[in-house]
Structure 1
Amino acid sequence: MQRIRPGWRVAVTGIGAVCGLGWGVDSLWKGLRAGRPGISSFRRFDHSRHRTHLAAEAGDPPESFVRSCPGWRRLSIADRFALFAAREAVARAGLALPLGEEAEAGVYFGSSTGGMYESELFFERFLRDRRGRLSSLIPQQVNAPGDAVARHLGSTGPVVTFSSACASGALAVGAALDAVRAGEVEVALAGGSDSLCQLTYAGFNALRSVDEAPCRPFRAGRAGMSFGEGAAVLVLEPLERALARGAEPLAVLAGAGASCDAHHMTAPDPSGTGAAAALDAALADAGLPPEAVGFVNVHGTGTPLNDAAEWQALKKVFGDRAGELPLVATKALIGHLLGSSGAIEAVATVLCLHHGELHPVAGEGEADPELPVNLVLDEPLPVPGARAAVSTSLAFGGSNAALVFSPWGDRPGEQTGDQLG
């Protein structure tokens, strides 16, 4: 394939998602728009010994997926999430399977734990019964969700997995953007997948980073995150290729940026300098000034330290606009999907741009006077004419990533791609 010049526009032509709001993009958008949290008690494993008892569990796959995927029971839960989201995204993009027969396709995925839950079940049985094959752990590696997508959909290009905690999914999307721009692939499936497991639930409880109530980003009295699980996939391809085959882009992925705090393993740099660097890099990559950004889908975990550091980053990048810029806090509704969070929040950002309105969160509790943000509360907020939107992911270890999306098409108040930037 001919290599493409840097800066070439890359379209999002398909999206797929699974989370605590349901299986599929329609369920995701319906729940987001209603501001309805999917966070409640869950049944995956016994959590009675922990100080918190909530998570946004995705539940069982729909019958249509079960019927169309022989051998699905042999897949880890994270693999099932990934495969469902990828198949939905490919179908929405109007691409034929197997992918390798139509285009040079690559898979770029993020995951923190892969099939860790199934590994926990294996060792529980092994220690109890002294039976089991260690070889059965191989399909449960952290790279398994991306590999499952490539294997089942016939993608014969690069398959790359990122595992940089909560930034994994966003880093994968950024890498896919670079690969499409460079002409390494014609189509990229970019996303992430993670499932609830005892390791992360116990670990974050031990750190006292989990709220006993559904998480409340940027609100007074917030006490930590809520866990979620699921997957999200975006189909990326050169805009000209998408238009030539008659696809209708949902948005343009205009830029990506990344940085590291180099500060602490489990706490963000309180100055927000690293997070601001990722935002600045993404906007520079997109060729857009901060003034072009109409809203930000914040990382917004609901931990006191993270939200405070993110506010500092927003002030550094957006200056006096920081307190006026509408903020979307997707984790308040679907929980923290760890390695998949950046991917599903990218999908949520695309949906907000595509529909021309921002999803709300419940306005429970008091605002934090130290964080005077403009969080979208209670009702959807129309955003006509937004030139760009940013989604941020700020991870343990100080890994930061940001993605910039621009609208496409003839939605009310939008500009066409030729007018962007």
Structure 2
Amino acid sequence: MSSFRRVVVTGIGAITPLGNTAPAYWEGLKNGVSGAAPITRFDATKFKTRFAAEVKGYNPDDFFDRKEHRKMDLFTQFGVVAADEAIADAGLLEGVNKDRVGVIWGSGIGGLKSLQEECFQFGRGDGTPRYSPFFIPRMIADSSSGNISIKNGFRGPNFVTTSACASSSDSIITAFNTIRLGLADVVVTGGSEAAITESGIGGFNALKAMSERNDSPETASRPYDKNRDGFVLGEGSGAIVLEAYEHAKARGAKIYAELIGGGMSSDAYHITAPDPSGSGVVLVMENALRDAGIKPEDVDYINTHGTSTPLGDGAEIKAIETVFGPAAEKLNISSTKSMTGHLLGGAGGIEAVAAILAIQNGVVPPTINLETPDPEINQNLNFTPNTAQQREVNIAISNTFGFGGHNTSVVFRRFEE
């Protein structure tokens, strides 16, 4: 461990259902704002779920040349916008060796909108294939990392991790290891998703995974509440710039926090359902704590996966109780998905930003819509219900888990020289 390079966060960016910059996103989190509302992207009248947490007020012409954004799926556009903010925030545009700057990104689905549009168009025709030359480049998941790299001339390691809803956190851990092993000095990392389409909503409805609280979208995502009935689909992107500490110090970069550890594990249980025992989540948090070289009682805040599903929420809390023991009751726990919805492969990106800003500001964002505590979940824990809480946050963990049993935990610490 001592031979590894220290890794710090020097830039953040976000485009989310709560706001289209990192500061706007943070204001929404602090104030307990819900980003869920009726779907505007398509006519959802006949769908079981007719709402989602869409990015609002986004116009691609504000960020791209029209000819340019026609070549990008929405998930890639979101990724480039968030990465641009993080890159500018970190001051990476000048004076760095771009051969040593990588882009490691996460997306669980990639260009779903582009795939759907091309298939719909083909199905309406006479069977003659008339596909856009931009179809494949728009659809593939690595178009996100590729476009970020091309725009900025970053020639270091460049690829995408795809592990369902754990994708962004896996990309962050991979970026972390890439830097501390000396394979790059800086990595732009995070993830993006844009799955609010007919096929996205219809597919998750068929799995019975999403809330159907159509009469009150803003209260539909309710992690740990007795009356939760599934997750709310969100979209957007979260980006962070990770950098070797010595490199950041040499160029006088501001430092938000230090990334000190990451854990990965698998439930090895079911392709969509979490292991009810929480054993895979126990393993991933133990791995993260061990990698970070800290004890359970050192942790102040956990940004949980907390999707508002009946099975998933309970399994994660059981695991927290197992790993943290008596220290669990001293933690702040919150699920920011109660406000943003679930960004699938982009979740780990925006939730890492939330954990970093909780450390920076000494504020834990709330779990909103927690009205009727679930008697099967230990209510002695502090779920930060409905209102943000001020507290000194020295160490924060971000948990993300995905279909296929993929589990990740990322550990951030307040930066000290």
TM range (shorter): over 0.9
In the alignment, is residue 378 of structure 1 matched against residue 386 of structure 2? yes
What secondary structure is seen at the aligned counterpart in 1 of 2:225? Answer: coil
| Post-superposition CA distance 1:357-392 (Å, at most 9, x none) | 1112334421112112311123221122x3311000
In the alignment, is residue 51 of structure 1 matched against residue 48 of structure 2? yes
| Post-superposition CA distance 1:210-253 (Å, at most 9, x none) | 11232100111111100000111110011121122111100101
What secondary structure is seen at the aligned counterpart in 2 of 1:132? Answer: coil
Determine the C-alpha separation between the residues in 2 that align with 1:333 and 1:342. Answer: 15
User: Aligned-pair distance for 1:62?
Assistant: 5.0
Partner of 2:114: 118
Give the counterpart of 1:396 among 399, 403, 414.
403
In the alignment, is residue 159 of structure 1 matched against residue 165 of structure 2? no
User: Aligned-pair distance for 1:279?
Assistant: 0.7
Partner of 1:414: none
In the alignment, is residue 362 of structure 1 matched against residue 358 of structure 2? no
Percent pairwise identity:
36
Q: How does 1:38-187 map to 2 (within 5 A)?
A: 38-61=35-58, 65-66=62-63, 71-96=68-93, 101-102=97-98, 104-130=100-126, 132-133=130-131, 135-139=133-137, 140-187=139-186
User: Aligned-pair distance for 1:126?
Assistant: 2.0
Contact 2:395 2:413 in 1 (8 A): yes
The root-mean-square deviation of aligned C-alpha atoms, in Å, is 1.9
* TM superposition outliers: structure 1 runs of 4+ over 4 Å: 67-70
Determine the C-alpha separation between the residues in 1 that align with 2:64 and 2:403. Answer: 39
User: Aligned-pair distance for 1:190?
Assistant: 0.8
Contact 1:9 1:238 in 2 (8 A): yes
Task: Please tell me the residue identity of whatever aligns with 1:284.
Answer: R
- Quick one: structure 1 residues 154 and 102, their matched pair in 2 at CA, closer, same or farther if it must change by over 3 Å? closer
Comparing 232-241 with 56-65, which one deviates more in the overlay? Answer: 56-65
Partner of 1:413: none
Contact 2:99 2:155 in 1 (8 A): no
Determine the C-alpha separation between the residues in 1 that align with 2:311 and 2:94. Answer: 45
Partner of 1:27: 24
Partner of 2:202: 202
In the alignment, is residue 352 of structure 1 matched against residue 358 of structure 2? yes
Determine the C-alpha separation between the residues in 2 that align with 1:159 and 1:378. Answer: 39
Q: Structure 1 length normalisation: TM-score? A: 0.92
Count residues in correspondence.
Answer: 405
Task: Please tell me the residue identity of whatever aligns with 2:390.
Answer: P
| Post-superposition CA distance 1:135-178 (Å, at most 9, x none) | 43211112221111111121111112111101000000000000
Where in structure 1 are there 5+ consecutive unaligned residues? Answer: 409-416
Task: Please tell me the residue identity of whatever aligns with 1:380.
Answer: A
Contact 2:221 2:369 in 1 (8 A): no
Partner of 1:412: none
Partner of 2:226: 220
- Quick one: structure 1 residues 188 and 5, their matched pair in 2 at CA, closer, same or farther if it must change by over 3 Å? farther
In the alignment, is residue 262 of structure 1 matched against residue 258 of structure 2? no
User: Aligned-pair distance for 1:396?
Assistant: 1.0
- Quick one: structure 1 residues 60 and 150, their matched pair in 2 at CA, closer, same or farther if it must change by over 3 Å? farther
What secondary structure is seen at the aligned counterpart in 2 of 1:74? Answer: coil
What secondary structure is seen at the aligned counterpart in 2 of 1:374? Answer: coil
- Quick one: structure 1 residues 245 and 62, their matched pair in 2 at CA, closer, same or farther if it must change by over 3 Å? farther
Determine the C-alpha separation between the residues in 1 that align with 2:176 and 2:192. Answer: 18
Partner of 2:216: none
Determine the C-alpha separation between the residues in 1 that align with 2:66 and 2:255. Answer: 28
Q: Structure 2 length normalisation: TM-score? A: 0.93
Determine the C-alpha separation between the residues in 2 that align with 1:39 and 1:137. Answer: 30
Determine the C-alpha separation between the residues in 1 that align with 2:132 and 2:66. Answer: 25
- Quick one: structure 1 residues 363 and 157, their matched pair in 2 at CA, closer, same or farther if it must change by over 3 Å? same
Determine the C-alpha separation between the residues in 1 that align with 2:32 and 2:65. Answer: 32
What secondary structure is seen at the aligned counterpart in 1 of 2:15? Answer: strand
Contact 1:327 1:374 in 2 (8 A): yes
Contact 1:10 1:238 in 2 (8 A): yes
Where in structure 2 are there 5+ consecutive unaligned residues? Answer: 214-219
Contact 1:359 1:380 in 2 (8 A): yes
Task: Please tell me the residue identity of whatever aligns with 1:117.
Answer: K
Determine the C-alpha separation between the residues in 1 that align with 2:65 and 2:124. Answer: 35
Contact 2:265 2:280 in 1 (8 A): yes
